[in-house]
């Protein structure tokens, strides 16, 4: 690939997940291309720029409406001033103004997809919006199929599968004094924290002493509902809401079971991190999780959204914990989710 300038765009309004994915990719591509990271003002990326962005340039823009003339002109100006040839876009919410911002620009337009979509965009209007997309990049086979079903493809649009790597660590397993469960994810509706807590009832009934550590911040729009559920839990003293941590591997070292009954994932970073530590894992059978088993990873899945089956499996694993953890999942994680493999695949589609 001839070295040319690349913009990594992220306009998410969320709690930082998509923003962090954009930052990580920008930093990994920085040795191969001049990177301009473009984001909304006042969001996670701008707030963390001093911590993460020493190797890339940051440009912030206002985006207060779906079709802002100032937004369009700002993007066109950034592209022209920096001679940008590639744009990697995390998200889809600003696709309308970007369509006009790229008019008459020779842009290799790449969209990275990290979440499952349910509403079809196979209509005339969306066909116009996505006509100039060169590559839809999906981070799992599940999403690859979802993107091809949901999104319109232009005459030159291609679909690519590029797994997103995560930082992994091999850790010694220090068996805790009591059964210790772990869940790592932002606490939002559908991430499975309430199902996981409910499943622990089987441990109470069988008089198994336990502690359940839940790592992640509670979303503002879910706080009241979740805390109402948590407050009504009869064993809430054993459920530890620890908030957000930057270093989560410390919790894997002294935990027995990673209990992750998410209702659906594009590709979960914390799940891959759990695989890399060889912890016992229990999840639902949905979205991307069967794909992990097809890759050769070893963990337990139960019928989707079946809390009774989740309880049964939790009790079985709790009563049959291995004294040591094998290396199988950790070795496979290194092979499949390598940062260099991701970079090499992106370099083949940049111009």
Of all residues in the chain, the percent with pLDDT exceeding 70 is 92
Give me the mean pLDDT over the 256-277 stretch: 93
pLDDT digits (tens, 9 = 90+) for 231-253: 999 999 999 999 988 788 889 98
Domain(s) labelled CATH 3.40.50.2000 in the chain stretch across 5-162, 179-335
Tracing tokens 């991430």 back to the chain, one arrives at 191
What burial class does residue 173 get, using C-beta atoms within 10 Å of its C-beta: 0-12 exposed, 13-18 middle, 19+ buried?
A: middle
Q: Which of 144, 35, 25, 23 is nearest to 86 (CA)?
A: 35
For residue 64, the model assigns a pLDDT of 61
Residue 273 has pLDDT above 80, yes or no: yes
For 68-138, strand residue ranges (E) read 84-90, 108-113, 135-138
| 3-state secondary structure (DSSP) of residue 298 | coil
pLDDT at 315: 97
Q: Which fold has domain 179-335?
A: Rossmann fold (3.40.50)
Decide: 61 and 87 in contact? Cβ < 8 Å. no
User: What's the confidence (pLDDT) of residue 110?
Assistant: 95
Work out the average pLDDT over 127-144. Answer: 94
Residue 23 has pLDDT above 90, yes or no: no
Highest mean pLDDT (candidates 116-125, 190-199, 336-345): 190-199
Q: Which of 83, 323, 64, 311 has its CA nearest to residue 197?
A: 311
Q: How confident is the model at residue 1 (pLDDT cuts 50, 70, 90)?
A: very low
**For 73-82, 276-285, 317-326, which range has the lowest pLDDT when averaged over its residues?**
317-326
Looking at domain 5-162, its CATH architecture is 3-Layer(aba) Sandwich (3.40)
């Amino acid at each position: 690939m001839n070295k040319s300038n690349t913009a990594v765009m992220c306009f998410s309004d969320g709690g930082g997940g998509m923003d962090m994915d954009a930052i990580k990719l920008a930093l990994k591509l920085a040795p191969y291309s001049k990177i301009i990271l473009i984001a909304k003002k006042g969001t996670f990326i701008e707030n963390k720029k001093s911590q993460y962005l020493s190797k890339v340039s940051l440009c912030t823009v206002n985006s207060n409406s779906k079709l802002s003339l100032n937004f369009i002109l700002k993007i066109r100006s950034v592209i022209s001033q920096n001679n940008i040839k590639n744009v990697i876009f995390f998200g889809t919410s600003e696709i309308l103004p970007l369509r006009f911002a790229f008019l008459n620009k020779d842009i290799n337009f790449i969209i990275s997809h990290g979440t499952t979509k349910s509403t079809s965009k196979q209509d005339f209007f969306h066909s116009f919006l996505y006509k100039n997309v060169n590559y839809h990049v999906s981070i799992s086979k599940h999403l690859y199929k979802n993107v091809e079903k949901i999104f319109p493809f232009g005459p030159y649009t291609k679909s690519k599968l590029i797994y997103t790597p995560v930082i992994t660590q091999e850790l010694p397993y220090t068996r805790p004094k009591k059964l210790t469960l772990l869940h790592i994810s932002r606490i939002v509706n559908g991430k499975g924290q309430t199902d996981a807590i409910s499943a622990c009832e089987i441990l109470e009934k069988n008089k198994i002493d336990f502690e359940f550590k839940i790592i992640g911040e509670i979303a503002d729009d879910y706080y009241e509902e979740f805390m109402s559920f948590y407050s009504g839990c009869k064993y809430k003293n054993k459920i530890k809401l620890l908030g957000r941590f930057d270093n989560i591997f410390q919790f894997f070292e002294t935990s027995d079971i990673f209990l992750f009954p998410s209702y659906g994932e594009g590709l979960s970073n914390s799940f891959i991190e759990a695989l890399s530590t060889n912890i016992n894992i229990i999840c639902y059978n949905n979205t991307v999780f069967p794909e992990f088993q097809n890759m050769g990873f070893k963990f337990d899945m139960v019928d989707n959204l079946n809390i009774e089956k989740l309880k049964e499996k939790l009790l079985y694993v709790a009563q049959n914990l291995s004294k040591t953890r094998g290396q199988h999942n950790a070795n496979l994680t290194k092979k499949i989710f390598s940062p260099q493999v991701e970079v090499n695949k992106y370099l083949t589609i940049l111009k």
